[in-house]
Copies of this chain bind each other. A is one copy, B any other.
Amino acid sequence: MSETLDNAVRTYIENHRAAFLDDLAEWLRIPSVSAQPEHGADVLRSAEWLAAKLRETGFPVVEIWPTDGAPAVFASWPSDDADAPTALVYGHHDVQPAAREDGWDTDPFDPVVRDGRMYGRGAADDKGQVFFHTLGLRAHLAATGRTSPAVHLKLLIEGEEESGSPHFRRLIEERRDRLAADTVLVSDTGMWSEDTPTVCTGMRGLIDCEVTLTGPGQDIHSGSFGGAVPNPATEAARLVAALHDDRGAVAVPGFYDGVIPLTDRERALFAELPFDEEQWLRTAKSHATSGEAGHTTLERIWARPTAEVNGIGGGYQGPGGKTIIPATAMLKLSFRLVAGQDPARIEEQVRIWIAERLPAGIGHTVTFGGATRPCLTPLDHPALQSVVRAMSRAFQRPVLFTREGGSGPAADLQDVLDAPVLFLGISVPSDGWHAPNEKVELDLLMKGVETAAHLWGDLAQQGRHAP
């Protein structure tokens, strides 16, 4: 953490900032929209553009990995220090769809710099946050005089994240040996705010299921039969109502088995975040908070498992009334999971719970979709400490902690590579992911470059460590 090194890094970045931004703008001009088949060639072009830039950066191994969908880019640069730990950076080069008429002030694929921000689809999500690693790595090498990174460095930049990463799990399972790493660094998230740099320490997992309930063999007349036979819409509703107890906790037996509770330190650090609940409610477009008793809103969305109804349907939903007992009803349920919960076990518990609650005369099926495991890195994990120190040096202020309530392919990396997952992101909530006028704050982007420049040396000092 020498002042000299910090200055050398800063100077290098300053000198290369303009060219770096020109390059990023060039990449943003490629409309690599993975969800739109007509942009298939652009996604490939985006991969090739990145591969060329990584070669130019100095990566001795750069490969485009095809999938049954869009291609990923893999790069590797071994450290001269054979014993150094291995770090794998994850990001994606595909972007969300965007069209000028969606409300963009300028062409989403012709980036402009205005008021210290670069506007364009992918500026923050995720091209900007992938690309800062190139200049970060060069600054690391230049400032330390090294000819190879302090860690064995790998990059995996996928091309289908905005389409739900349908081939990602298979890709990393097939390439598990090439991807092996001591630490995974996900550069596809954000931080609390411009003034509050934070590191995300985990994501919730996810399982979801569709429940279908059957009652009468067809819709039957509620006058002739109402009040005397079970109604599947009523039973669907009763399942939902029984999902939570009086304190807002999930009532499926065993649901909380193994949940790793928040530590007092984590709760205290969450509480240090300048959280404005009124503002948060506006973001959530909601009019009140609710949830598990004994927890704050941030704890509820980041660190507690939940059950939600994503959809419910049964009987007549058209205009006016129709006096029937419906033949069927349907529920879509999803459960967010936290570290310590086993998706397979909870699926089984949910199945048993549903079967036991339904009365005679109601048939049912439960179909689960794919499961995403939760991931969590403890605050005192050495690699997490490295990220925090690198970020503090760049931002020159203390770094706090967040978690992510959503679920993502990070968990697949943790699972398949059996490595802890860390999150490094410099995007802020106002960056407009998936929205018109997506942008990245250039000052923050350069802090990302600077963090990346410091990270590899710090991580190398920690040595290898068991996850």
User: What string of 1s and 0s marks CB contacts (under 8 Å) between A309-341 and chain B?
Assistant: 111111111001111111101101010100000
- Contact call A222/B323, Cβ cutoff below 8 A: no
A218 at the B interface (CB under 8 A): yes
The docked-state distance in angstroms from the alpha carbon of A234 to that of B310 is 9
The count of identical subunits is 2
The docked-state distance in angstroms from the alpha carbon of A287 to that of B231 is 11
- Contact call B309/A233, Cβ cutoff below 8 A: yes
Question: Given B292, B327, B361, which contacts A227 in the complex, CB threshold below 8 Å?
Answer: B292
- Contact call A310/B323, Cβ cutoff below 8 A: yes
Residues of B contacting A217 with CB < 8 Å? 285-286
- Contact call B226/A301, Cβ cutoff below 8 A: yes
User: What string of 1s and 0s marks CB contacts (under 8 Å) between A223-244 and chain B?
Assistant: 1111111110110111111111
The docked-state distance in angstroms from the alpha carbon of A291 to that of B325 is 13
- Closest-by-CB residue of B relative to A250 is B227
Residues of B contacting A225 with CB < 8 Å? 284, 286, 301, 405
- Contact call A290/B361, Cβ cutoff below 8 A: yes
Residue total for A at the interface (Cβ-Cβ under 8 A): 80
A288 at the B interface (CB under 8 A): yes
- Give the interface of A toward B (CB within 8 A): 204, 206, 208, 210, 215-218, 220-231, 233-234, 236-244, 281, 284-292, 297, 300-301, 304-306, 308-317, 320-327, 329-330, 332, 334, 336, 359-363, 369, 404-407
The docked-state distance in angstroms from the alpha carbon of A327 to that of B287 is 11
Residues of B contacting A321 with CB < 8 Å? 208, 210, 310, 332, 334, 369
The docked-state distance in angstroms from the alpha carbon of A329 to that of B233 is 14
- Contact call A369/B320, Cβ cutoff below 8 A: yes
Question: Given B216, B222, B308, B326, which contacts A222 in the complex, CB threshold below 8 Å?
Answer: B308
